[in-house]
Amino acid sequence: MTNRGKILITESCDPLLTEGLHAMGFECLYQPRILQNEVEGIIHHYTGIIVTTRIVVHKKVIESARLLKFIARAGSGMENIDAAFANSRNIICINSPEGNANAVAEHSIALLLAFYHNITKSYLEMRESKWLVQKNHVHELEGRCIGLIGYGNTGKALARKLSVFNMNVLAYDKYLPNYGDAFAKAATMDDLFKECEIISLHIPLSDETYELVNIDFLNRFSRMKFLVNTSRGLIINHSHLLENILNKKLAGAALDVYENENFQSHTPPQREVFKALIKTGRVIVTPHIAGKSFESKRKIAQVLLNKIQGIL
């Protein structure tokens, strides 16, 4: 078998990935706990590297990687990879958003139902032996207008699932042509500002989307009551989100991602804002688990194998 070189795998993965890479002729070093400085010290030996968000493949890493042919992201976001510099060195960058799109879509619906059906609220009350039926009448999703900002793999997966709820689904994607389909109507941001009660974010983090959701953005909505974010935390200015909730312009929010997900390194303002959001009782939070299903791990492995095979 042809020896195609070595691949450094920096995160836990489904065995399918290493098995498939071996079958292609690669030697794999599986180091799911490897540290950033350790990667920088050995990257010059490797033909490929597979990362999630923990390891940053910045310019210094790429400059040291004399043999590197590709950088693979197990997941969707590429903000921890200097793709432009990699491309200038003829290093191909790939990701695998197809692999966890279904998991994120299901989680988004779970967050919607948890809020509109008072599941989280009433569960916490029941734990304290409070049987509050009258205070927990629920709101149905049917007939409500939801806007999806970003209509790639995850946005499309969510729209398909929302169709069974008979919701009015509008989608906006600045970078896709002709993206309307049977499950979502292509719309402008002005349409979303005017029509949507719910907004769900499905966009990558970039200079353009950093704190896109700020006080000015939120105040442009005429009818919005609820915000869901399963994309990247830094897309939202959380202080501004808190202000809107406290002022009752927003009924609530559901966040699977946060501006600083290392709670031990929170600055005092970050800590206070996070605590205040929880204290409102109108913000549901989960620890960046939307795309981390047992099934998506294998799907991501297969997507990466297909794309690496395509490179070869």
Q: What is the CATH number of the domain that holds 225?
A: 3.40.50.720
Per-residue pLDDT, 3: 84
Q: Which of 95, 117, 134 is a domain's end point?
A: 95
Each residue of 84-138: pLDDT tens digit? 999 999 999 999 999 999 999 999 999 999 999 999 999 999 999 999 999 999 9
| Phi–psi pair at 73, nearest 5 degrees | -100, 115
Kindly state whether residues 149 and 16 are assigned to the same domain. no
Element (H, E) at 24: helix 15-24
44 domain residue, yes or no: yes
Kindly state whether residues 181 and 106 are assigned to the same domain. yes
HSE on the CB side for 169, CA within 13 Å?
Answer: 25
Kindly state whether residues 257 and 135 are assigned to the same domain. yes
Low-confidence spans in the chain with pLDDT less than 50: none
297 domain residue, yes or no: no
Kindly state whether residues 202 and 275 are assigned to the same domain. yes
DSSP one-letter code for 199: E
Kindly state whether residues 173 and 281 are assigned to the same domain. yes
Kindly state whether residues 23 and 170 are assigned to the same domain. no
294 domain residue, yes or no: no
Q: Which domain holds residue 17?
A: 5-95
| Phi–psi pair at 257, nearest 5 degrees | -130, 155
Per-residue pLDDT, 1: 59
CA 105 – CA 162 distance, rounded (Å): 9
Per-residue pLDDT, 309: 95
Kindly state whether residues 44 and 157 are assigned to the same domain. no
Q: Which of 47, 63, 95 is a domain's end point?
A: 95
CA 218 – CA 30 distance, rounded (Å): 44
Kindly state whether residues 55 and 170 are assigned to the same domain. no
Q: Which of 95, 118, 136 is a domain's end point?
A: 95
Kindly state whether residues 53 and 195 are assigned to the same domain. no
